[in-house]
Amino acid sequence: MNFSQLEYLKALVQHGNFSLAAEKLKITQPALSLQIAKLEEELEFTLIDRRKRPLQLTPEGEVFYEKSVEILKLVNELKQVSFEMGDEVKGYLKVGIIPTLAPYLVHLFINKLNSDFPQLKIEITEQKTEEIIRQIKMGTLDCGILSTPVVAVGVIFERLFFERFFAYVSEKHPQFRKEKLDMDKITQEDIWYLEEGNCFQNQVNSICKINLQKEKSQNLIYRSNSIESLRRIVENQHGITFIPELATINISSELEELVKPISGQTPVREISLVTTRSNPKDRQITALKETIIQSIPKRMRQKPKGSVIDTNIKV
């Protein structure tokens, strides 16, 4: 058994088939199959159920894989020792950010991060909360930025900032002339919403107290994973959608009137950094965290008056 075989198994589990895993590892598929077979022969039990599509671990394989991931993470920690010994922040950081946050946050901090830490390379991917946490546990992401509270074991959360929720109201809607959106006077048919299973949409559902799972009684049903797509619908059609505070910063002056505070207790989402308890890239993650906090509007560093809306996510 060797570390390369463990890396091969990890790639195979991640990609679910031999050809994709071999391509990622830059080896041939027969070579990958041979190494997995050798590992199984040495262990004297089967790791992969090859009858399933995508491939799945056997019960014995799941136990072995969990331990092998822990070993690979320890090896990577040893590789990071040289970076941690010096004063300079450098290396490679893989970060996952939820899609309802990344388009509005990354451009605020990335130039400062590159300027302050030129030796630090950062790779950012947009992923849902559950996938970010899963990959952090596997070691394929170093940290994540997402909306909390979230119930999850094996990771820790550190609060970064708060965002208020705003309504984005069409000029054709009766409440467009109001200073604030009255939640008691909107109906299900008024609202354009994100695809279910998104933590932002879970929070919107809590704010609206409307069962958005029901079929809408209008000609166009538009389910999207993009807040920007929903904004375009509101601007050109009718109705209402909801946007986070950072999304309001770059709205053009001619569209600012479409942004409305929500009446009553202000709904708020909490944004946190998630990572593992013992992380070899603590210095790099701290640099990222501090840069983000310095780059956002000062008002968002403290919780505003209002209620933090639960994500209703358990991982």
For the chain, domains (ranges, CATH) are 3-75 (1.10.10.10), 86-315 (3.40.190.290)
pLDDT for the residue 35: 92
pLDDT for the residue 199: 87
Categorize the per-residue pLDDT at 81 as very low, low, confident or very high, splitting at 50, 70 and 90: low
Between CA 95 and CA 288 the distance in angstroms is 10
pLDDT for the residue 80: 64
pLDDT for the residue 79: 66
In the numeric block, which tokens belong to residue 112? 């400062």
pLDDT for the residue 170: 94
The average pLDDT across 308-312 equals 91
DSSP 23-86: HHHTS-HHHHHHHHHHHHHHHTS--EETTSSS-EE-HHHHHHHHHHHHHHHHHHHHHHHHHHHS
pLDDT for the residue 85: 54
pTM of the predicted model as reported, rounded to 2 decimal places? 0.74
Digit-coded pLDDT (tens) for 101-124:
999 999 999 999 999 999 999 999
Better pLDDT: 217 or 190: 190
Residue 88 has pLDDT above 80, yes or no: no
pLDDT for the residue 144: 97
Digit-coded pLDDT (tens) for 28-51:
999 999 999 999 999 999 999 988
Q: Average pLDDT of the chain?
A: 88
Q: How many CB atoms lie under 10 A from the CB of residue 153?
A: 8
Q: What b/e sequence results for 258-282 when a residue is b if at least 16 CB atoms lie within 10 Å of its CB, and e otherwise? A: bbbebbeeebbbbbbbbbbeebbbe
Eight-state DSSP code of residue 310: P
pLDDT for the residue 72: 84
CB 283 within 8 A of CB 89: yes
Categorize the per-residue pLDDT at 297 as very low, low, confident or very high, splitting at 50, 70 and 90: very high
Digit-coded pLDDT (tens) for 136-171:
988 889 999 999 999 999 899 999 999 999 999 999
Residue 1 has pLDDT above 90, yes or no: no
Between CA 41 and CA 2 the distance in angstroms is 13
The average pLDDT across 217-221 equals 53
Better pLDDT: 66 or 108: 108
pLDDT for the residue 159: 96
